[in-house]
Homo-oligomer: A and B are copies of this chain.
Amino acid sequence: MTKSKDDTIAARIGKALADRIIAGTLEPGSRLGQDHIAEEFGASHVPVREAFRRLEAQGLVVSEPRRGVRVASFSMADVKEVAEMRAALEVLALRHAAPHLTPAILDAAEEATRAGDKAGDVQAWEDANRNFHRLILNPCGMPRLLASIADLHMASARFLFSGWRAEWDAPTDRDHRAILDALRAGKLDVAASVLARHVQWVGRKPR
């Protein structure tokens, strides 16, 4: 029953590569040879090429016709761009999700925030962070919007894991609580503006 998504080999390879790119295991700019990857996964290169197309659409790789595909590199400007897009779209999602937010959902989001506080490494913190955003935004019931946000979130996470930002501080988790408080108080505008600022935190220059 856990086979509706990564059923095809292409989907499985695509997901595996995405994970590595986000985690930074595959470095920006590095070449992805289709035969090499096919061999590693014990498959032919056809599903590998199909996986490439999806990754390309997600902005995780760049492909030059007949010259191969490489892991997408990103600049500070790219990071800021993604952060601003997230701010715009997540605010939109929140405005539509708000009427459907139940106390149970808000409690779950608070629990996710606590998990983030207890996180020992960046990976665990990011998992909790993603969970928080997913919980409060999913009820908007706009699938295309949520898919776009998920892609942008991946790009943000890449940056977070890239070492540019070795530190991850408390302010974001304070933001989470401020968002929850505002939502509980019915102050949607406040929640939205905190969310917008919060999302762009990752786009700030480190060090």
Known contacts A57-B53, A57-B58; A88/B84 CB under 8 A:
no
Contacting B at CB under 8 A, from A47-95, are: 49-50, 53-54, 56-59, 65-66, 78, 81-82, 84-85, 88-89, 91-92
Query: Shortest distance in angstroms between A67's beta carbon and chain B's nearest beta carbon?
Result: 10
Q: How many copies does the complex hold?
A: 2
Decide if A119 is an interface residue (CB 8 Å cutoff). Answer: no
Q: Mark A118-137, 1 if CB is under 8 A from B, else 0.
A: 00000000000000000000
Residues of chain B within 8 A (CB-CB) of A78 are 144
Q: Hey, which chain B residues are within 8 Å of A85, CB to CB?
A: 89, 92, 144-145, 148
Point out the residues of chain B lying under 8 angstroms from A49, CB to CB: 50
Chain B residues with CB under 8 Å of A143's CB are: 81
6 contacts between A and B (CB under 8 A): A4-B65, A50-B53, A57-B58, A81-B145, A84-B92, A89-B89
